[in-house]
Amino acid sequence: MTGGRDRDAGFPDPPADPHRTTPRAGTAPPAGTTPPAGAVPPNDTVDPDAPPAFRAALAADPAQLSPTREALRAWLTTLGAGEADVEVALIAVGEACANAIEHGYRFAAGSTVLVRGRLRGDRLEIEVSDTGGWRGPRPDGGDRGRGELIMTRLMDEARIDGTPEGTTVRLVKHLADLG
């Protein structure tokens, strides 16, 4: 829970194996079953014409960044996003994931970064979340620490919510070449 709301609301569950990066569309519950009270149905049961959501759970290992970017590229391409929008989103999401791995988990083995994405009209919404410790930017800036600046410059909206329970980066981009 973040700010009194479930930060997974509206997104389908991630794959069972957090060390495998796989995009996954939401699925309806099996016929004849009743979802638990308060459950939010996956996006394809709310609007059958909505594109499938993107879900990836990646191990907090820099080697998982490339497969995650490729899975995200494939998803964005199937949505009809233009190459310029795809590249911008890949850079911003890559920065958010790298920050979660390095700063949130400090490369701790067994940790997982979740990436969720959905398209609402021409509005691409992506969240990258971890349950690691929050560390704000260094006061001296150092020779690093440009990830937040990169995300805010590339995306229409970029918000970082850091708490002791973890960090969620929310990125929004209006896709210009959606076709």
Residue 153 pLDDT grade (very low, low, confident, very high; cuts 50, 70, 90): very high
Structure confidence by residue, pLDDT tens digits, 36-86: 444 444 443 456 777 899 999 999 999 999 999 999 999 999 999 999 999
Signed CA dihedral, 38, 117, 27, 56: sign only: negative
Domain of 76, CATH number, reads 3.30.565.10
By residue range, what is the domain housing residue 117? 53-134+145-174
Structure confidence by residue, pLDDT tens digits, 2-37: 444 444 555 545 444 443 443 333 444 444 444 444
In a domain, 21, yes or no: no
In a domain, 34, yes or no: no
Residue type, 30: P
Please give the Cα distance from 173 to 128 (Å, whole number).
14
In a domain, 23, yes or no: no
In a domain, 42, yes or no: no
